[in-house]
């Protein structure tokens, strides 16, 4: 699939070819003879800037050298671009990156528009806001989304998205903590752990990092780890509904998780970004479980419930009851991290968030959520008709499809080459994702139906 320009000796520390040849990044994971994609500078001056010009005496952050290949989604985008260059007339449909496609509801967009126009007036202008977020929005999040679990508005921190908050939480936690992740898991947990220095070296023979506890979540164990055999870690990253598998943990499962964390003195970082998609009565918040406030931080987002992927707005809940081993409240340190590293979410985005949580706004955004759920049902039925095992799609906008005996990148490549469809290879979510692909229900209905037709024709 990929064209190799030239083979030379590589310098392991930086992966550069001799300056007279080309600049090429090649992962240590590629086997001899395997076709690789070469990333070549567009200008010769880019190469010269690395090889010929002055170099500082500052060493590269060793943790960044431990990252494996490219971050998953830019890698997919690069392969899509390569396919488009190869087949310029191809009509590609993306079932890959989980980006929303339906317009933001009128009530929300108009509210943001009115707020932006008011900024042009002396009376309506606003400058810096509180780093923790607009007090009115914090209260609306607490009262609307956590009304049955007694989360206080002062425990809600408004942000520019849950993925950004994952990195801020890593600053809070530091490099000395031990961590556990679901396997498969959303790549941001793992990569941020590598960058902060929690992971240790990557073990090629196992496709795992040495210091990370991988909690297997597969159909065989109902997508929930066997905690009776799990080792104790300081931090447990847990996502429900899960990205990528789409599984929503039950009350019983989450009670096990909370009890496990309390027994071991661990902190759960709980990602509930897809909670609005839950339809079977599973918990939408970790705080529905008794005792969870003593062991859990919850992050969430407006991105996938209100189409705010480009607007950027999320929140993190840090309960007052959550304490370090010395009895100091975690919320005080997170507040310091926020005040140091963040100047607050966009005031325009926060105005939109308030509109989302109004009675009219909630009705509008849940209507869009229902649209994506219908898309997911179409995809689930498509794979079922093809005789493939598919999971998720009920409580989440993702469908997790099993291709027994196949490498996930090979399945990705075949579907792209033969059907002009973008998916996500499961191995990008960890070793437990091999033999699977993730398919997103975010898309226009006509695109989902066309993708269904192409898949049925291919398989």
Residue by residue, pLDDT tens for the chain (459 residues) are 433 433 333 334 334 433 333 333 334 444 444 444 444 444 444 444 556 789 999 999 999 999 987 678 888 999 999 999 999 999 999 999 889 999 999 999 999 999 999 999 999 999 999 999 999 999 999 999 999 999 999 999 999 999 999 999 999 999 999 999 999 999 999 999 999 999 999 999 999 999 999 999 999 999 999 999 999 999 999 999 999 999 999 999 999 999 999 999 999 999 999 999 999 999 999 999 999 999 999 999 999 999 999 999 999 999 999 999 999 999 999 999 999 999 999 999 999 999 999 999 999 999 999 999 999 999 999 999 999 999 999 999 999 999 999 999 999 999 999 999 999 999 999 999 999 999 999 999 999 999 999 999 998
pLDDT value for 9: 38
What is the pTM (predicted TM-score) of this model?
0.87
Omega before 47 within 30 of 0, i.e. cis: no
DSSP conformation letters of 168-231? HHHHHH-SS--EEEEES--HHHHHHHHHHT-S--EETTTTEETTEEEEE--GGGTTS--TTSPP
pLDDT value for 439: 98
Which helix (DSSP H) or strand (DSSP E) does residue 263 occupy? helix 251-264
Q: Which residues contact 5 (CB under 8 A, 6 or more apart)?
A: 21, 22, 24, 38, 40
Bridge-partner residues for 390, per DSSP?
Answer: 401
pLDDT value for 71: 73
pLDDT value for 47: 45
pLDDT value for 226: 96
Q: Which residues contact 347 (CB under 8 A, 6 or more apart)?
A: 115, 119, 126, 129, 134
pLDDT value for 317: 98
Going by C-alpha positions, the residue among 400, 402, 394 that lies closest to residue 376 is 394
For the record, the structure tokens of 459 come out as: 């398989």
pLDDT value for 72: 85
pLDDT value for 52: 73
Strands annotated E in 56-141? 93-94
Separation of CA 374 from chain center? 22
Bridge-partner residues for 214, per DSSP?
Answer: 181
């Amino acid at each position: 699939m990929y064209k190799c320009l030239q083979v030379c000796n590589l310098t392991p520390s930086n992966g550069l070819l001799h300056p007279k040849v080309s600049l090429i990044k090649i992962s240590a994971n590629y086997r001899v003879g395997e076709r690789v994609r070469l990333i070549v500078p567009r200008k010769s001056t880019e190469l010269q800037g690395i090889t010929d010009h002055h170099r500082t005496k500052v060493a590269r952050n060793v943790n960044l050298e431990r990252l494996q290949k490219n971050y998953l989604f830019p890698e997919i985008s690069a392969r899509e671009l390569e396919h488009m260059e190869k087949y310029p007339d191809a009509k590609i449909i993306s079932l890959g990156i989980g980006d929303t496609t339906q317009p933001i509801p009128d009530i929300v967009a108009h509210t943001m528009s009115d707020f932006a126009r008011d900024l042009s007036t002396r009376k309506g202008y606003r400058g810096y806001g509180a780093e923790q977020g607009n007090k009115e929005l914090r209260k609306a999040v607490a009262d609307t989304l956590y009304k049955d679990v007694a989360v206080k508005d002062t425990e809600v921190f408004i942000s520019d998205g849950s993925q950004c908050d994952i990195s801020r939480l890593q600053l809070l936690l530091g490099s000395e903590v031990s961590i556990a992740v679901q396997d498969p898991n959303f790549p941001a947990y793992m990569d941020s752990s590598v960058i902060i220095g929690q992971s240790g070296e990557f073990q090629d023979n196992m496709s795992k990092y040495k210091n990370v506890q991988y909690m297997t979540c597969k159909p065989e164990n109902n997508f929930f780890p066997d905690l009776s055999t799990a080792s104790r870690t300081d931090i447990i990253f847990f996502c429900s509904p899960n990205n990528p598998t789409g599984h929503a943990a039950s009350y019983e499962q989450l009670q096990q998780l909370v009890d496990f964390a309390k027994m071991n003195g661990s902190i759960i970082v709980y990602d509930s970004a897809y909670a609005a998609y839950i339809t079977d009565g599973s918990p939408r918040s970790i705080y529905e479980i008794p005792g969870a406030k003593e062991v859990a931080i919850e992050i969430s987002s407006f991105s996938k419930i209100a189409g705010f992927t480009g607007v950027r707005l999320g929140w993190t809940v840090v309960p007052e009851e959550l304490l370090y081993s010395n009895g100091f409240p975690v919320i005080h340190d997170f507040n310091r991290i926020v005040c140091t590293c963040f100047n607050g979410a966009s005031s325009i985005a926060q105005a939109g968030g308030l509109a989302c949580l109004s009675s009219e706004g909630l009705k509008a955004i849940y209507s869009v959520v229902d649209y994506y759920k219908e898309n997911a049902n179409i995809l689930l039925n498509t794979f079922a008709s093809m005789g493939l095992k598919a999971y998720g799609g009920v409580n989440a906008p993702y469908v997790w499809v099993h291709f027994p005996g196949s490498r996930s990148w090979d399945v990705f490549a075949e579907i792209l080459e033969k059907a002009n469809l973008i998916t996500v290879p499961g191995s990008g979510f960890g070793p437990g994702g091999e033999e699977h692909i993730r398919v997103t229900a975010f898309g226009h209905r006509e695109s989902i139906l066309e993708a269904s037709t192409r898949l049925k024709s291919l398989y």
